[in-house]
Chain A
């Protein structure tokens, strides 16, 4: 009896092993047939990031464009949509092994780090001209592709910026105007905060490491400083960087306009859900949040957006330029076809279609942000922030270390503030010193 069972098990195992061994592999086969379509017949593999409301949603949005591309050029593109949780690992594995797709999306904060790996094709000279040149893009967006003087290895695809979302109903009821300076923001927040009623002036995912890094970066730049020197070396223990932390932390620690429970929010979605609940006055969030709020039941008619204000007399920095870039792997055997594809994806026509579908901002010059065409004020505001108020993230290879060490440090301080400790400037300095020391080990 047992033998029969084991034999059955062995057969199942063998069959399954045999079946699973037959998996298709993509082989490139460039056979130019048409003068107009010099790369017809080539097959490209493309790893797209999850930009839409689901992996299927991304396929729905991208597939028609890929079909369009195939018709135009004869190049077939095989699409894989990778969830964000896996993207870094998968890209890393491909870079290490030399086996992977031809084209891949990357989060643009990683652009400089990935640039230094040598795994990606630099866009210079002919290759840069092949995709349309740097002038095709907004200068601010182009600066996200890498440090000055270094050939970029990624091209901007979808852009996002931070804006200050404010609840129209709450503001109207209290007779408040959208703030133009940080002081006005604090005044409005204090006016709206009523801890017993559960209404708070501002919400933020205070337990989220990458948002903490983003905000610290923006506020430090408002104060006129930066976490990195001109040479790209970390220099965290400066007054401006302390101010960058202080301004964010004080919302919970000093002005008490942020619910201490926000220190538990380890992803932006929790803050979004709160804001959509209607009892929060303001929320600093990225462009894509418009779609997220809608999924939580809040329409753009219920809120307004203004640039994140700066303290009176400080630099008018409202955001850094977030978003997604597109890169070509150096080991790709179909570089020319891949360049064609990148050119297509960043063409004005495609840029408008894709950014509209995803609710993001086109980095290509003079392409309207039609995602928001139903709300012209919103559309103008986002474009204005991107053009006038946004600066690129520091283009240094140690950005991820900065995020983990400083971003993580800020989250730790929020945890302390939430559980009742007072945070002094010395505490902030100590945290930044520690973060800097950890950078040296990297």
Chain B
């Protein structure tokens, strides 16, 4: 994204400014504008994100347990010891962390992928106006309006083995199987988690994609139609093509958020999720914060952050190449 604006600015803005009317004053003001615009945002970011993050990283290098909570400046500096514990794969804690990592990755890819697919499909299908479109769009956004806690609890009821709607339907109505399966424990728990996460997330993807799609001028579709493109080709070249910037950012952010998902597994499975659905942030929370070992928790969080930085860097590289081709 930064590259596009770089290119555009270089070609479009600079010559314009130089040839425009007004002298030195205009030029200075023009140069100062971006900084003025950004300053409020930076101030907030510094105070509320950057400083706590730095403190958080510092916490990972000290032995911050219940014993030092009240005088945390005196907690002993232990360098990378917390990290060593977290990455020690011979210890069950390290093993659990590694397993969690893999599971969370799979969960994230699945959830984001399916949510995006649903959002894109619904946006395409609801792009052109027809009677009831407004109602349908609102209907699809309702899960986004409902407090997450209530939504997840509802799914918990649905997934109950004996009293839930899903088994009632599968066993008593469809007669798919005689023995009611478990959805909240065992291997199925992973899929239950994905289903609930998608249910909550796809309306948001739908909203963002819808907004982006509305900015595509209608003329482009008409022009493509005149050129002989059918509906599918129009979608592929016009819609998807022009949505690339929005989609790219949306996918990255959804990935980052989903990877850090905490509420959904915590409310669905309680303090000890089943092994198949043991997501990373829950593991971090349970093996450190709950046990009052904040230094260890901070270290594991830093490791998480490093991985996500890697993901973002890879994304930036891919994005840059995509833009160069486009």
Chain A interface residues toward B at CB < 8 A: 92, 95-96, 98, 113-114, 116-119, 207-210, 259-261, 263-264, 266-267, 330, 397-398, 400-401, 404, 407-408, 411-412, 415, 418-419, 434, 437-438, 440-442
A252 smallest CB distance to B (angstroms): 12
**Residues of chain A with a CB closer than 8 A to B93's CB:** 437-438, 441
0/1 interface trace, chain B 54-79, chain A, CB 8 Å (1 if under)? 00000000000111011110000000
CA distance A209 to B66 in the complex (A): 21
Cβ–Cβ contact A400 & B291, under 8 A: yes
Q: How many pairs of A and B residues are in contact by the CB < 8 Å rule?
A: 106
Say whether, besides A207-B185, A418-B186, A419-B182, A404 and B162 are in contact (CB < 8 Å). Answer: no
How many B residues, CB 8 Å from partner? 32
Residue B154 CB within 8 A of the other chain: no
B291 smallest CB distance to A (angstroms): 4
Cβ–Cβ contact A263 & B185, under 8 A: yes
State which residues 75-109 of B face A: CB under 8 Å.
85, 91-93
Residue B290 CB within 8 A of the other chain: yes
Chain B interface residues toward A at CB < 8 A: 65-67, 69-72, 85, 91-93, 160-162, 182, 184-187, 269-272, 274-275, 286-287, 290-293, 296
Q: Which of chain B's residues has its CB closest to A98's CB? A: B70
Cβ–Cβ contact B182 & A412, under 8 A: no
**Residues of chain B with a CB closer than 8 A to A407's CB:** 272
Please name the 3 residue pairs, one residue from A and one from B, whose CB atoms are nearest each other, closest first: A266-B270, A419-B186, A408-B272
**Mind listing 28 A-B residue pairs with CB under 8 Å?**
A95-B70, A98-B70, A117-B70, A118-B70, A207-B184, A207-B185, A207-B270, A208-B271, A209-B270, A260-B182, A261-B161, A264-B160, A264-B185, A400-B290, A400-B292, A404-B271, A404-B287, A404-B291, A411-B270, A412-B274, A415-B185, A419-B186, A419-B187, A437-B91, A437-B92, A438-B92, A441-B293, A442-B293
**Residues of chain A with a CB closer than 8 A to B292's CB:** 113, 400-401, 442
Cβ–Cβ contact B65 & A442, under 8 A: yes
**Residues of chain A with a CB closer than 8 A to B185's CB:** 207, 263-264, 415, 418-419
- Given A117-B67, A412-B275, A441-B91, 7 new contacts (CB under 8 A): A95-B69, A210-B271, A260-B182, A400-B290, A438-B93, A441-B85, A442-B293
B90 smallest CB distance to A (angstroms): 9
Cβ–Cβ contact B72 & A96, under 8 A: yes
Cβ–Cβ contact B272 & A207, under 8 A: yes
**Residues of chain A with a CB closer than 8 A to B66's CB:** 113-114, 116-117, 397
Say whether, besides A264-B184, A434-B92, A437-B91, A116 and B67 are in contact (CB < 8 Å). Answer: yes
Q: Which of chain A's residues has its CB closest to B188's CB? A: A419
Q: Which of chain A's residues has its CB closest to B185's CB? A: A415
CA distance A211 to B292 in the complex (A): 20
| Most central of A119, A260, A404 by chain B CB within 10 Å | A404
**Residues of chain B with a CB closer than 8 A to A259's CB:** 162
**Residues of chain A with a CB closer than 8 A to B67's CB:** 116-118, 397
**Residues of chain B with a CB closer than 8 A to A437's CB:** 91-93
Cβ–Cβ contact B270 & A401, under 8 A: no
**Residues of chain A with a CB closer than 8 A to B182's CB:** 260-261, 263-264, 418-419
Cβ–Cβ contact A441 & B70, under 8 A: no
CA distance A114 to B65 in the complex (A): 11
CA distance A118 to B69 in the complex (A): 8
CA distance A260 to B92 in the complex (A): 27
CA distance A407 to B272 in the complex (A): 9
A280 smallest CB distance to B (angstroms): 13
Q: Which of chain A's residues has its CB closest to B161's CB? A: A261
Q: Which of chain A's residues has its CB closest to B290's CB? A: A404
CA distance A267 to B293 in the complex (A): 25
Say whether, besides A113-B66, A404-B287, A266 and B293 are in contact (CB < 8 Å). Answer: no
Say whether, besides A92-B69, A95-B69, A118-B70, A266 and B291 are in contact (CB < 8 Å). Answer: no
Cβ–Cβ contact A261 & B162, under 8 A: yes
**Residues of chain B with a CB closer than 8 A to A95's CB:** 69-70
**Residues of chain A with a CB closer than 8 A to B274's CB:** 412, 415
CA distance A425 to B285 in the complex (A): 29
**Residues of chain B with a CB closer than 8 A to A415's CB:** 185-186, 274-275
Cβ–Cβ contact B269 & A266, under 8 A: yes
A259 smallest CB distance to B (angstroms): 7
**Residues of chain B with a CB closer than 8 A to A408's CB:** 271-272, 286
CA distance A210 to B290 in the complex (A): 12
Cβ–Cβ contact B70 & A119, under 8 A: yes
Cβ–Cβ contact B270 & A267, under 8 A: yes
CA distance A192 to B21 in the complex (A): 94
CA distance A190 to B297 in the complex (A): 45
CA distance A266 to B290 in the complex (A): 17
A102 smallest CB distance to B (angstroms): 16
Cβ–Cβ contact B271 & A442, under 8 A: no
Cβ–Cβ contact A401 & B291, under 8 A: yes
Cβ–Cβ contact B65 & A208, under 8 A: no
CA distance A208 to B287 in the complex (A): 17
Q: Which of chain A's residues has its CB closest to B296's CB? A: A441
Q: Which of chain B's residues has its CB closest to A439's CB? A: B291
**Residues of chain A with a CB closer than 8 A to B293's CB:** 401, 441-442
CA distance A207 to B159 in the complex (A): 15
CA distance A207 to B277 in the complex (A): 14
| Most central of A95, A117, A259, A264 by chain B CB within 10 Å | A264
Cβ–Cβ contact A118 & B162, under 8 A: no
**Residues of chain A with a CB closer than 8 A to B275's CB:** 412, 415
Cβ–Cβ contact A264 & B272, under 8 A: no
Cβ–Cβ contact B161 & A264, under 8 A: yes
- Among B69, B85, B92, B162, the residue within 8 A (CB) of A117 is B69
CA distance A442 to B63 in the complex (A): 10
Cβ–Cβ contact A266 & B65, under 8 A: no
CA distance A330 to B186 in the complex (A): 46
Q: Which of chain B's residues has its CB closest to A411's CB? A: B272
CA distance A161 to B184 in the complex (A): 30
CA distance A335 to B229 in the complex (A): 81
CA distance A209 to B184 in the complex (A): 15
CA distance A210 to B271 in the complex (A): 9
**Residues of chain B with a CB closer than 8 A to A260's CB:** 161, 182
CA distance A261 to B159 in the complex (A): 11
